[in-house]
Structures are given as C-alpha cells and as structure tokens.
Amino acid sequence: MAAQGGEVIDVGNQRQLFLDDFVIEKLQGVRLQPHAPHYEGPVLKFDKSWEGPFSIYSTVIHDGDTYRLYYRGLPKAEHDTGWENLCYAESTDGIRWTRPNLRIVEVNGVRENNCILTDSAPGTHSFAPFLDAKAGVPAAQRFKALGLERTPGNKDWCLAAFVSADGKHWTRFREEPVILNDTDHFAFDSQNVAFWSQSEEKYIAYFRTWKDGIRRISRATSDDFIRWSSSQLMEYRHNGEPAPIHHLYVNQTHPYFRAPQIYIATAARFVPGRQVLTTEQANELGVNPSYFRDTSDSVLLTTRGGNAYECTFPGAFIRPGLGLQNWVSRSNYPALNIVQTGPSEMSIYVNRDYAQPTACLGRYSMRLDGFVSVQAPYGGGEVVTRPLRFKGAQLSINYSTSAAGDVRVEIQDADGKSLPGYGLDDCPEIIGDEIERTIRWKNGADVGKLAGRPVRLRFVMREADLFAFKFGE
C-alpha cells in the first residue's frame, strides 16, 4: 500500500522497512533485494508419545525473559479426535528449548507431561495464543487465543475465545463461540490467528476460508475480542495489480515486533498434487502414505491493515531445502511470530519432516529488519522517499557496506531541494555494518528542528544494503 501522489506520510518515530514501496518515491540504480533466512537446525524434536509425526501449528511468543512455544501434538493421522494435545515448551534464549513438567492435564494415564489441553478436539487442533498488547488489559486476560470448535449441533466450524494469566492455564472467555462462519464456504480448518493492533486500535483476526476451491485468508476486527465484524476476504497485490492466487494454508499474520504498524505474514504455500517422492522413497523415510503427494513452502506477505496483502516478492521466502524429508505434504509450515534471539538476530521457526518419525521444529535466523534491503551495486545509486513527517531529534539506519562501499544521507524539503546543513556534501561517508547507526552531518546529528515539517530522505549508496531507517530521540 503506497502513499498517493504528494501525500505526506506521518512516520512519527516508527521504524520504516522496505518491505513494500510505501515510503519509496524513486529508485535509481538500486533495487529492492529480498534476503533468505538461514537454517540453523532443529530446536525441538516431536518425539514424545503425546506429540509425534503430526505435530504442527506452532506459535512462539517472546514474553520478557521467557520464550513460549505452543504446538499441537498428534501421534496419529486422526484429526478431530481425542488424540490431539496442546503442548507447551519454554526457552530463555529462543534457541535451547525445554518441556516443563506442567502436570495440568492427564495424557495416556499420566500427568507428567508438557500438555495444556487434551481430549478437547477440535479446540486443540489449531489453538493460536497471543500476548495481548492492548493498554490496560486485565492481568487475568494477558494472554488470549482463538480455538477451533463446532457450533452447537455439530453443524459447522466456528472459533471460540480463550484467556489466560500465565499462558499455561486457560479458560473460556465466553461460552458461546465468538466468530462464526459467515461465508458460503468451509472455513477455519487451520491455524487461525489474532492480535491487538496498535495502529488500528482493534483486535484483528486472520483465518482460513475457501473460495473457488482454493484455500484463502479472511480477516475480521473487534473492539473487545468478543463481538467481531463480518469477515473480509483478503486480496493479493503485486505492483498495484492483482497477484497470483495460491493455496495458503497457515497465514501467520502478526505485527513485526520492531515496526508493529507493518503486519508480516509468513504464509505456508500449499501445492496440492505436486509429488516429489516416489512411494519407495516415502517408505524409506517412514512418511505416512497419505502425506507425500503434495509439497509446500513459505511466502512472505505484508499488510498495513485493510483487506489486501502486498506480495512485493511473490516467490518463495523459505524453500523446502535439502533432503527428501522436506518435500512432503504439510511440511515447512512456519510458526506464528518472528522473535529476536540476539543483538543483531531474529528467528523464524518452521515445522519440518511432517508425517514422519523425524518430525521437528526447526529454526531459521535473519538479520534484524533483514527481510528486504535497498541494494546498490558497485556503480552506485540512490533511493528517495516520499514526503515524510517525523518526530524525534535523530535519524538512524540499519545498513551494511562492503569495504569499498558507503552510504550518505541528504534531507530535502517536500519539493526535493536539499536543506542547508543536511546536504549530501555535509554527510561524511558511512562505512560498515550496523543495526543502528546515527547519521551525523558536519554540524552534528540533531534533526529536531525539522520535526513536524514535510521532508524527503535521499540515500546515495555504493556497494551497500539499506534495511531500515528510524527517527527518534
């Protein structure tokens, strides 16, 4: 979603990424370059008797000093049965995970397990919690979730609301379901996600629907997490035009934690009937016979609200990767949420080896803000923003250069004229690789006198990547 014409974009002190063309007026000699996450290996093997090959629909929540992982445990290919368990794991760094012995529910005759809910299908089929960021939310409702269930009389799917104070012990927020199927198509049979939007000041839910036989995503909003609007079918846009429509299984839409005005969707793209493994290969790996005749990977979508996703880069975000075990049905489904796991690193978690004895949750790492960069070759180039209005006294950038490369920054007025003291010649070459570098001109770093007035930023670059910029104190 780009700003229109000469419209001034109020960016305040929000971090601006180049996931779309929202702030971009002109690219000259540079391009938007997507970056692929790096696979770091498995972090949790689903090898307990209450987990198993069909464990999936994971959610990762970074809550202060604790990382919380939720996932469906399912040892048999029998959905909507008592075999499905909602499981929980913890970590202090997002890398090394443990299963606490919660003793909350009994599974297979014992309570020594890490399960939160059991024998409550289909609610445990695709339970999707979130940490409520709404100001003033009661402590008993600090965590919320949507869970799948049947309407009275077992006639249709619907979504129920749950709340929790500690993220482990859950109760119904309301006995009646909160989101009903208001379409003519089967819906909700996947991970249905929700969150509090700081920018829209509403709860937003994204859930699975069907249209013309294709798995699609719809959205609804609520002020109180109980009364929800009618659903809107999400559309897909690329360069202002309709984008190709694929089967999207889980949508995993959530506010990016460093720029919550941007919602990131690491959606699972499902390709039915695209078989890679032979029957013999599937048997060797121990793949369930019903789960090797399709493939799936992940795509990256973004939205800033409304009923359209931006598909700036319509290709794969995370490919299945090496090994035939990754080329089976319903493998490579990303977990909900991207979280910071180091000073310069964030992590994305992906369910791998589905329907196999080796089923696990894998971790991928990326540079903070590192989805997309404005990339300049050795010959150089520049990017100029649309007119912006900001708050703060300093400008910082997330960037990387080669040894021979550099970045310089000019601040212009809304008409594109260089402002005195902030011209290109006033900015020394910026060389290096930093997540947050304060820009300094010859007279210093203070840009406070320009706050509140329309300005443009001009980044002149050579053999460099620019990932994000931000105004602040």
- Rounded distance between C-alpha atoms, residue 208 and residue 218, angstroms: 6
Count Cβ atoms within 10 A of the Cβ of residue 421 and give its class: 0-12 exposed, 13-18 middle, 19 or more buried. Answer: middle
What is the model's pLDDT at position 189? 84
Q: Are strands 316-318 and 295-303 parallel, antiparallel or unpaired?
A: antiparallel
Q: Which residue has the tokens 């180039």?
A: 381
- Rounded distance between C-alpha atoms, residue 112 and residue 130, angstroms: 25
For residues 315-328, give the mean pLDDT. 96
Confidence at 1, pLDDT banded by 50, 70, 90: very low
CB-based contact 356:325 (threshold 8 Å): yes
- Rounded distance between C-alpha atoms, residue 284 and residue 324, angstroms: 10
Confidence at 182, pLDDT banded by 50, 70, 90: confident
What is the model's pLDDT at position 14? 98
What are the beta bridge partners of residue 31? 375
Confidence at 156, pLDDT banded by 50, 70, 90: confident
3-state secondary structure of 292: coil
User: By percentage, how much of the chain surpasses pLDDT 90?
Assistant: 89
pLDDT digits (tens, 9 = 90+) for 216-238: 999 999 999 999 999 999 999 99
- Provide the token pair at 339: 């979280």
**pLDDT, averaged across the chain:** 94
User: By percentage, how much of the chain surpasses pLDDT 70?
Assistant: 96
Does 467 have pLDDT greater than 80?
A: yes
What is the model's pLDDT at position 118? 86
What is the model's pLDDT at position 125? 79
Q: Are strands 9-12 and 388-390 parallel, antiparallel or unpaired?
A: parallel
Longest dimension (CA), the chain: 75
3-state secondary structure of 179: strand
Confidence at 2, pLDDT banded by 50, 70, 90: very low
What are the beta bridge partners of residue 56? 72
H helical segments located in 100-152? none
Structural domains in the chain, CATH included, are 9-35+372-472 (2.60.120.260), 40-367 (2.115.10.20)
The H or E element that residue 295 is part of is strand 295-303
The pTM of the full predicted model, rounded to 2 decimals, is 0.95
- Rounded distance between C-alpha atoms, residue 69 and residue 60, angstroms: 5
More confident residue, 326 or 157: 326
Q: Are strands 193-197 and 202-211 parallel, antiparallel or unpaired?
A: antiparallel
pLDDT digits (tens, 9 = 90+) for 331-374: 999 999 999 999 999 999 999 999 999 999 999 999 999 999 99
pLDDT digits (tens, 9 = 90+) for 49-105: 999 999 999 999 999 999 999 999 999 887 656 688 999 999 999 999 999 999 999
CB-based contact 15:257 (threshold 8 Å): no
Does 151 have pLDDT greater than 80?
A: no
What is the model's pLDDT at position 121? 58
What is the model's pLDDT at position 81? 63
CB within 8 Å of 305: residues ≥ 6 apart:
197, 199, 200, 204, 263
CA distances from 78 to 106, 133, 179, 208, 290 (A): 19, 35, 25, 20, 12
More confident residue, 148 or 414: 414
Does 155 have pLDDT greater than 90?
A: no
What is the model's pLDDT at position 185? 72
pLDDT digits (tens, 9 = 90+) for 258-295: 999 999 999 999 999 999 999 999 999 999 999 999 99
CB-based contact 167:63 (threshold 8 Å): yes
